[in-house]
Amino acid sequence: MTESTPARPVRVTLLTRTSCHLCGLAREAVSKACARTGAGWREVDVDADPELRAEYGDRVPVVLLDGAEFAALQVDRDQLARALSD
């Protein structure tokens, strides 16, 4: 698991898995959107948790915003930044 600055409350959780090309792109988008808005984020490997692996399977990356699913497979950095600013 990777976390952004721990002093910030985590609003975004990025669900990923190792060796996932789309996950790398999503990580970059989430990192930039959160840096722009000051939101905290963390990354969780779905393969490290049997329940997450069962729930999300191959449908990663997934972005959770305040615990609710915001995006899957592709992340629009600007759309996420707007949602974080609301």
According to the model, what pLDDT value does residue 32 have? 97
- The answer as to whether 3 is a domain residue is no
- The answer as to whether 86 is a domain residue is no
- The answer as to whether 42 is a domain residue is yes
In the predicted model, residues of the chain with pLDDT beneath 50 are 4-5
- The answer as to whether 58 is a domain residue is yes
- The answer as to whether 63 is a domain residue is yes
User: The domain spanning residue 45 has which CATH number?
Assistant: 3.40.30.10
Q: What is the 3-state secondary structure (H, E, C) of the chain?
A: CEECCCCCCEEEEEEECCCCHHHHHHHHHHHHHHHHHCCEEEEEEHHHCHHHHHHHCCCCCEEEECCEEEEECCCCHHHHHHHHHC
pLDDT tens track for 57-69: 999 999 999 999 9
How many structural domains is the chain composed of? 1
Q: Which domain does 46 fall in, by range?
A: 10-75
